[in-house]
Amino acid sequence: MSDAAAVRKAVVGASIGNAVEWFDFAIYGFLATYIAANFFPSGDDTAALLNTFAIFAAAFFARPLGGFVFGPLGDRIGRQRVLAIVILLMSAATLAIGLLPTYQAIGVAAPLLLLFFRCLQGFSAGGEYGGGAVYLAEYASPERRGFTVTFMAWSGVVGFLLGSITVTLLQAGLPADAMSSYGWRIPFLIAAPLGLVGLYIRLRLDDTPEFTELSRSDDVAAKPLREAITTSWRSILQVIGLFLIFNVGYYVVFTFLPTYLIKTLNYSKTASFTSITLASLVALVLILPLAALSDRVGRRPMLIAGSALFVVFAYPLFLLANSGSLAAAVTAHCLLAAIESVYISTAVTAGVELFVTRVRYSGFSVGYNVAVAVFGGTTPYVVTWLTGATGVMAPAFYLMGAAALSLLTVLGLHETAGARRSSTVAA
C-alpha cells in the first residue's frame, strides 16, 4: 500500500469512528430538555435542566480517568487496539441510556443510572480523541501533519451536526407527546449499529508506523504514564492551557447556544436548529483549509489569531445575538463558529506535537482530558447558571476570560510545524 493510500485509510478509520463517538456524545446535549423532563421530578424546569447539564458535566470528569487508563494502554499495546475498545464502550453506554426507565417508572434510580452510563461514555471518550489524534499524527508527513490530524476536529463537528439533524428530524416527524414519551430514545438506540460500523472499520486498521517501529526496536515505554508525567509535565500543562478556549468555545458554540436561543432568546426549536446547522456548516467549510494554512504559516500564528479574536469579538457578537433579530442571532452564532474554527484547526496538532512517540498517547490524553473535564464539560452548566444569575452577556465574558488564558499559553509555545519527531527526543 502506498504512503498516500495508508494515510487515507488512517484518516477514514479515525474520522468515522470519531464522528460516531461524538454523535453518541452530542445527542445528549441536543435532547437535554427531554431528558430533564423524563429523569427529574416535574415542577421546576430550570432546576431540571441544570441537573441534566450537571450530569452532562459529570461525564466529563470521568474523561481524565479514561485518559489515565487508555493513554498508557495505547503506549503499551498500540493505538489501533485501544481505538477499537473505546468505540465499543461508548456505543454500549449510549444504547443503555436509550433503554433506561424514567423517573416516573423507577424514581431516583433513573437519574443515578443515567449518571452511571454518562460516566461510562466519558470514560471511553477519554481514550478516543487523544488516541485518534495520535494515530493520525503518526501517519502524517511533517509537511501535512496539521491538515491530516485536524480531521479529528472536523469529524467531531460532523458528529455534532448529524446528532442535531437526527434530533430535529424526529421533532419534525413526531408529535410533541410522542417525542417526549419515546422519540427522544431513538438517537440513543441508533448507537448500536453505528458503533458496529465504527468497530468494523477500526479492526481493519494497522497500527501506526511510528509505534510499529518502536515495538520492533523494543523501545516501548514500560510505564508510559509515569514517564510522561516525569519527563513531559511541562507539555501536559501546556496542553491544558492550550485546550481551555478550545473546549469553552466548542461547548458554547455547539452545545450551549442551541439551548440559549430557545430558553434565553425565546426563539423556536426550528430557529435553533437552523442556527446550529449553519454554524456547523461554517466550521466544516473552514476547519480543513485553516489546518492546511497552519502547515504553511505555523501553529502559533493561527492559535494567537483564534484566541485573540475571541477576546475582541465575543462581547460584540453576543450583543448582536441579543439584538432581537433572529437573523442577527444566527449571524452571531456563525461568526462565533468561524472564530472557533480558526483555533481548533490547529490546536490538536500543536498539542500532539509536544510529545515524543514513547509517551505521546499518555501525555496528550492526560492533558487534553483534564482540560475537557475542567473547562469543557462544565461549560453548559456554568454559562447556564451565570446567565440566570448575572444576565444574558455572561457567556461572552466567560469566552473572553478563557481565550485570554489560552493566549498566554500559546505565547509560551515553541513553533512545531514541520518538525520531524523522534521516539525519544521531543520535537
With respect to residue 424, please indicate whether it lies within any of the assigned structural domains: no
**CA 62/CA 352 separation, integer angstroms:** 21
Check: CB of residue 359 under 8 Å from CB of residue 232. yes
Burial of 270 (0-12, 13-18, 19+ CB in 10 A): exposed
Closest CA to 102 of 28, 189, 190, 42: 42
Assign 421 a pLDDT band (cuts: 50, 70, 90).
low
177 falls within a domain: yes
Report the CATH number that the domain containing residue 402 is assigned in CATH: 1.20.1250.20
Q: Please give the pLDDT value at position 423.
A: 45
**How confident is the model over 347-397, as pLDDT tens digits?**
999 999 999 999 999 999 999 999 988 888 788 778 988 988 898 999 999
Condensed to tens digits (0 to 9), the pLDDT of residues 128-182 reads 888 999 999 998 888 899 999 999 999 988 988 888 888 888 988 899 899 989 9
What pLDDT digit, counting tens, does each position of 241-283 carry? Answer: 999 999 999 989 988 898 899 989 999 988 988 898 899 999 9
In a domain, 167, yes or no: yes
- Name the domain count of the chain: 1
- Please tell me the distance from the alpha carbon of residue 191 to that of residue 95, in angstroms, as a whole number: 6
> Which pLDDT does position 44 carry in this prediction?
67
Note down the domain range covering 209.
Answer: 4-418
CB-based contact 183:46 (threshold 8 Å): no
More confident residue, 193 or 79: 79
Rg of the chain taking only CA atoms, in angstroms: 20
On whether residue 412 sits in a domain, the answer given is yes
Any domain includes 27: yes
Percent of the chain with pLDDT over 70: 97
97-135 pLDDT per residue, tens: 999 999 889 988 888 899 999 899 889 988 988 899 999
Flag whether 125 is in a domain.
yes
State how far the Cα of 267 lies from the Cα of 260, in Å rounded to an integer.
9
Q: Where are the alpha helices (DSSP H) in 298-377?
A: 299-321, 326-352, 360-371
Residue 229 burial by Cβ neighbours in a 10 Å radius (0-12, 13-18, 19+): middle
Label residue 4 by pLDDT band (50, 70, 90): confident
Average pLDDT over residues 335-340: 98
Over residues 302-325, the pLDDT tens digits come to 999 999 999 999 999 999 999 999
Whether residue 426 lies inside any domain: the answer is no
Q: How far is CA 75 from CA 71, 136, 199, in A?
A: 6, 15, 20
Helix (H) or strand (E) holding 258: helix 257-263
Residue 423 lies in a domain: no
89, 123 contact by CB (below 8 A): yes
